[in-house]
Amino acid sequence: MDEITGILYSKTAQVGTLSEGLNYFIKPLDDYANRWSEILVRKKTHLWENDPVLHKFIDKKVLILGEIIETKSTITVDYEFVRVLD
């Protein structure tokens, strides 16, 4: 499992559709910050639902453990565990 440290935040996506909901991102504060300004955190709910695990950590510094899927143009983390850092 990989880990990423950063600030978790959300953006509203699919505005005006039945799938309108939040996408979750992390602003990395570790080695990933050199390559990426934001990393998509894949939620474990439907598009229109808030992820109950991620939602309580919005605007907090967190550690995310999970699988990182990185290509030339995108990066996503499929999280398994999230915890707040001091």
pTM assigned to the model: 0.92
CB 3 within 8 A of CB 31: no
Could you read off the pLDDT of 17-60 as tens digits, one per residue?
Answer: 999 999 999 999 999 999 999 999 999 999 999 999 999 999 99
Residue partners of 7: CB distance under 8 A and separation at least 6: 26, 27, 29, 59, 60, 61, 62
**Structure tokens belonging to residue 84:** 């707040």
Instruction: Provide the b/e sequence for 69-81 (b: ≥16 CB within 10 Å).
Output: eeeeeebebebee
Given the structure tokens 């499992």, which residue do they identify?
1
Given the structure tokens 């959300």, which residue do they identify?
10
Q: What are the backbone angles phi and psi of residue 72, rounded to the nearest 5°?
A: -65, -35
